[in-house]
């Protein structure tokens, strides 16, 4: 590993400087004549440089929460604060990787153009832009596919392109919305390791939303378990597994099994409608 390819600035990692602060977040969807409370009261913080996973039963408002954090959706009450600034629209230091990679990448552009476009929009100078695109595609193992169109690649490769696009953007916060839900199990394991290694290399803060319990325990430093809708935080589970993780040994650790069972039980509780006192 040579020099940090994206040159993400080093940030002080103290408990007081929260990268992301979600306070009393509530989201009610107002429909015709009826309103649905998707998220009731969510409060948590993510420190700079952390990798935090959010799991919850299906329909727990995970995507709603992520869209509120991304500034793509207005909140009904409470606030989202990113790097000390209140989020009212998509903030500058953030990139989102969507689950639907096939629709998030633009089919009329090549892989390189897809990765480069947000940088152009950000007015990154040409030389630096070139290097960022090259480095990020190399980091996801797709340096040879630059001139292909996304639809000429497999699903896993397309999601790698979307990750490269996010990484090249040099975000401080990387939001991932069930990014591997649509790829096969083997590709999924590879992509999980890719996220871990990019996170360790770049020092970026990652908030990873998933419905997969194993995935959340394997990836995260913390796992925030959500209740069913209207959503509150059920438990914030610290994951005290070694920092160096790999698919075979980490997943066969007794501690992994314990944490997995614990999160599993929480999800079962959440499904049965249990709420914290």
Partner 1 sequence: MTAATLGRRSPPPSWLLGLAGLAGLVGIVELAPRAGLVDERYLPPFSAMAAALAEQAATAEFWRSLLETLRGWATGLAIAMVAGVALGLVIGGVPPLRAALNSTIEFLRPIPSVALIPLAVLLFGTDMRSTLLLVVYASFWQVLVQVLYGVRDVDPVARETARSYRFRPFTQVRTVIWPTALPYVMTGFRLGAAVALILEITGELIIGSPGLGRQIAVAQTSGAVAAMYALVIVVGLIGVTVNVAARATERRALRWHPSIRRDLAG
Give the C-alpha separation, 223 to 213, whole Å.
Answer: 9
- Which is closer to partner 1, CB of 40 or CB of 62? 62
Give the C-alpha separation, 103 to 206, whole Å.
Answer: 22
Give the C-alpha separation, 102 to 186, whole Å.
Answer: 19
**Does the protein bind partner 1 through residue 94 (CB under 8 A)?**
yes
**Does the protein bind partner 1 through residue 88 (CB under 8 A)?**
no
Give the C-alpha separation, 265 to 259, whole Å.
Answer: 10
Tokens of 46: 């993510």
**Does the protein bind partner 1 through residue 77 (CB under 8 A)?**
no
Of 35, 152, 186, 247, which one interacts with partner 1 (CB under 8 A)? 152
**Does the protein bind partner 1 through residue 128 (CB under 8 A)?**
no
**Does the protein bind partner 1 through residue 121 (CB under 8 A)?**
yes
**Does the protein bind partner 1 through residue 92 (CB under 8 A)?**
yes
List, in order, residues 6 or more apart from 147 with CB less than 8 Å away. Answer: 110, 111, 112
> Are the CB atoms for 22 and 66 separated by under 8 Å?
no
- Which is closer to partner 1, CB of 29 or CB of 106? 106
Among the residue ranges 5-13, 70-78, 133-141, 228-236, the one whose residues contact partner 1 (CB under 8 A): 70-78
Nearest to 29 by CA among 270, 272, 234, 230: 230
**Does the protein bind partner 1 through residue 107 (CB under 8 A)?**
yes
**Does the protein bind partner 1 through residue 29 (CB under 8 A)?**
no
Angle at 60 between CA 56 and CA 65, to 5 degrees: 95
Of residues 164-183, those binding partner 1 (CB under 8 A) = 169
Interface residues toward partner 1, by CB under 8 A: 67, 70-72, 90, 92, 94-96, 98, 100, 103-104, 106-109, 117-118, 121-122, 149, 151-155, 157, 169
């Amino acid at each position: 590993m040579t020099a940090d390819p994206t040159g993400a600035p080093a940030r002080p990692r103290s408990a007081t400087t929260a990268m992301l602060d979600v306070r009393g977040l509530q989201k009610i969807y107002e429909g015709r004549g009826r309103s649905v409370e998707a998220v009731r009261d969510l409060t948590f913080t993510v420190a700079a440089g952390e990798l935090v996973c959010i799991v919850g039963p299906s329909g727990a408002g995970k995507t709603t929460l992520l869209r509120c954090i991304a500034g793509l959706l207005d909140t009904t009450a409470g606030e989202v604060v990113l790097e000390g600034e209140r989020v009212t629209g998509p903030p500058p230091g953030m990139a989102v990787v969507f689950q639907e990679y096939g629709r998030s990448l633009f089919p009329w552009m090549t892989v390189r153009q897809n990765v480069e476009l947000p940088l152009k929009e950000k007015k990154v100078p040409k030389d630096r832009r070139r290097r960022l695109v090259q480095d990020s595609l190399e980091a996801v193992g797709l340096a040879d596919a630059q001139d292909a169109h996304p639809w000429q690649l497999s699903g896993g490769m397309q999601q790698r392109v979307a990750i490269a696009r996010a990484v090249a953007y040099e975000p401080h916060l990387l939001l991932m919305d069930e990014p591997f839900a649509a790829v096969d199990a083997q590709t999924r394991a590879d992509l999980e390791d890719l996220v871990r290694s990019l996170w360790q290399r770049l020092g970026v803060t990652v908030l990873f939303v998933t419905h997969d319990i194993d995935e959340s325990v394997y990836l995260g430093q913390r796992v925030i378990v959500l209740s069913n809708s209207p959503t509150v935080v059920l438990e914030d589970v610290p994951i005290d597994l070694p920092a160096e993780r790999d698919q075979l040994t980490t997943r066969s650790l007794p501690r992994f099994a314990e944490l997995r069972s614990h999160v599993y039980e929480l999800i079962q509780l959440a499904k049965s409608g249990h709420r914290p006192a």
